[in-house]
Amino acid sequence: MRGEVQLEKARITLSDHLDFIPHGKTTISSLLMLSSGHVEPLMRELKSHYQRIIIDVAAVNQSQDVQLIKRAVDGVIFIVKAGTGSAGQIANALDKLEENNGVVIGAVLNAVEEKDLETQEGLRSLNFSTDQLMTTPGRV
């Protein structure tokens, strides 16, 4: 990201249609790296090579990384681990993402245990949480 290594040398081809660029070793914080002005040029270069670019960053409430990188990307996919956070906390995190024209293009609920979806209580809980998120003021 700092321009020290050419893209061709940094990327690892995993299959015909999937490349991976590892974080690499760095002595500076991701916050400094993302605010250094290298993100936008890197994204332009990557967009010239790839149809889709997926960047994994820390949780919204754990770092400023997503706030910096969202300016250089087309959208954010919000990931929520099942059983963590209330509907209010999730709605606040989504609001934070949407500040300054951040675009949330989707959400994923991961780490859902199969047993939780097989019961009526699990389905009721999922429907209730979804309803709370969708009816929170300010949500589309």
Between 83 and 122, residue with greater pLDDT: 83
pLDDT of residue 20: 92
> What is the DSSP track for 71-130?
GGSS-EEEEEETTSS-HHHHHHHHHHHHGGG--EEEEEEES--HHHHHSHHHHHHHHHHH
Q: How many CA atoms lie within 13 A of 13 on its CB side?
A: 6
Please write the tens of the pLDDT for every residue from 17-53: 999 988 777 767 776 777 777 788 888 889 999 999 9
Question: In this predicted structure, what is the pLDDT of residue 137?
Answer: 63
Look over the chain and give the mean of its residue pLDDT values, rounded to a whole number. 81
Three-state secondary structure call for residue 64: coil
Domain chopping of the chain, boundaries: 1-55, 75-140
pLDDT at 129 over 80: no
Other Cβ atoms closer than 10 A to 90: 20
- Say what the pLDDT of residue 12 is: 93
Residue 2's pLDDT band (cuts 50, 70, 90): low
The pLDDT score that the predictor gives to residue 6 is: 81
State the DSSP code for 59. -
Q: Pick the most confident of 4-8, 110-114, 133-137.
A: 110-114
Average pLDDT over residues 76-97: 90
pTM for this predicted structure: 0.67
